[in-house]
């Protein structure tokens, strides 16, 4: 059995989660594909398809939505969704499942894993979630992985699988925020030439290809999604907005999180 997991990780939390999943699956060969940086393989040769990203403004990020929408329609191919979140998960898992099933996949499993906060406005308010995931969260994540393993065996035995969509109450569905709202909250990036060392890291981490070096970073705001990746990952705090001057960055997973998801 072959499984491919398409993932998008802005600060490294989701990448740790999918690597943990890969290392703990026993009954299948797992291929990970970073949709932001790698050439995307077709899902045609895989028996199960996974989709994983972080929660961005109460839903999957724009890049993942665009990717799912670009996939060729299929007929009931088994799939699962996995998202990371820190503050309020909103309806990310429901929206994720809706988008994947709209391409003809059958979403049979889903899980939301709590990780440390990487959103600067919430970090400023003291919402750090530094100790996430808890031991209980890890136990539940392991149960989710075990369910994937069990599902692989069921597929081998040609058993009928049910979509998890019936488990969701659409009355509780909270739609994700619009891109214009996201961008407005982020604001317009400014580059401090006194602080910038022209390292190009902001270009590398921008999944929306909105930044070019000319010779300092220049942002195309028609492409910018307001994801905070450039702000978080600037080593010299040279990128700032009207309200944020380099404070409360999330530069990547802590050693504690790495140890938990090793």
Instruction: Concatenate the DSSP letters of all residues of 67-95 into one string.
Output: HHHHSPP-SSEEEEEEEEESS--TTHHHH
- Express each pLDDT in 1-42 by its tens digit: 999 999 999 999 999 999 999 999 999 999 999 999 999 999
> What is the band of 87 on the pLDDT scale with cuts at 50, 70, 90?
confident
Same domain, 64 and 100: yes
- Give domain status of residue 249, yes or no: no
Residues of the domain holding 196: 179-240
- Give domain status of residue 40, yes or no: yes
CATH number at residue 54: 3.40.50.360
> Which value, to the nearest 10 degrees, does the dihedral of the CA atoms of residues 110, 114, 118, 122 take?
110
Give the separation between CA 109 and CA 146, rounded to whole angstroms. Answer: 11
Same domain, 141 and 214: no
Q: How many domains does the chain have?
A: 2
Same domain, 169 and 49: yes
Same domain, 129 and 169: yes
Same domain, 91 and 145: yes
Same domain, 100 and 119: yes
Selection from 2, 7, 63, 60 nearest residue 30 by Cα: 2
- Give domain status of residue 227, yes or no: yes
Same domain, 98 and 195: no
Same domain, 205 and 97: no
- Give domain status of residue 29, yes or no: yes
Give the separation between CA 95 and CA 72, rounded to whole angstroms. Answer: 19
The mean per-residue pLDDT over the stretch 205-225 comes to 94
Give the pLDDT confidence score for residue 15 in this predicted structure. 98
CATH number at residue 221: 3.30.70.20
Same domain, 80 and 170: yes
Give the pLDDT confidence score for residue 65 in this predicted structure. 94
- Give domain status of residue 245, yes or no: no
CA angle 240, 228, 137 (to 5 degrees): 135
Same domain, 217 and 188: yes
> What is the band of 176 on the pLDDT scale with cuts at 50, 70, 90?
low
- Give domain status of residue 248, yes or no: no
Mean pLDDT for the chain overall: 92
Same domain, 11 and 95: yes
- Give domain status of residue 118, yes or no: yes
Same domain, 164 and 228: no
């Amino acid at each position: 059995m072959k499984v491919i997991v398409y993932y998008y990780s802005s600060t490294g939390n989701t990448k740790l989660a999918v690597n943990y999943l890969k290392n703990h699956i026993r009954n299948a060969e797992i291929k990970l594909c970073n949709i932001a940086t790698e050439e995307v393989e077709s899902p045609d040769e895989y028996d199960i398809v996974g989709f994983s990203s972080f929660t961005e403004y109460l839903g999957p990020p724009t890049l993942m939505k665009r990717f799912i929408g670009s996939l060729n329609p299929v007929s009931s191919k088994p799939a699962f969704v996995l998202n990371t979140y820190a503050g309020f998960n909103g309806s990310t898992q429901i929206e994720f499942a809706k988008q994947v099933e709209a391409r003809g996949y059958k979403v049979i499993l889903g899980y939301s894993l709590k990780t440390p906060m990487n959103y600067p406005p919430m970090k400023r308010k003291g919402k750090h979630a530094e100790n996430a995931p808890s031991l209980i969260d890890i136990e539940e994540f392991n149960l989710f992985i075990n369910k994937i393993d069990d599902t692989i065996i069921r597929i081998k035995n040609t058993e009928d699988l049910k979509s998890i969509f019936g488990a969701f109450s659409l009355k509780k569905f909270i739609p994700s925020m619009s891109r214009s709202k996201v961008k407005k909250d982020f604001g317009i990036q400014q580059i401090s030439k006194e602080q910038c060392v022209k390292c190009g890291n902001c270009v590398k981490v921008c999944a929306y290809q909105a930044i070019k070096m000319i010779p300092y970073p220049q942002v195309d705001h028609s492409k910018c999604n307001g994801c905070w990746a450039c702000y978080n990952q600037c080593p010299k705090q040279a990128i700032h907005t009207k309200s944020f001057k380099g404070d409360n960055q999330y530069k990547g997973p802590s050693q504690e999180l790495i140890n938990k998801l090793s």
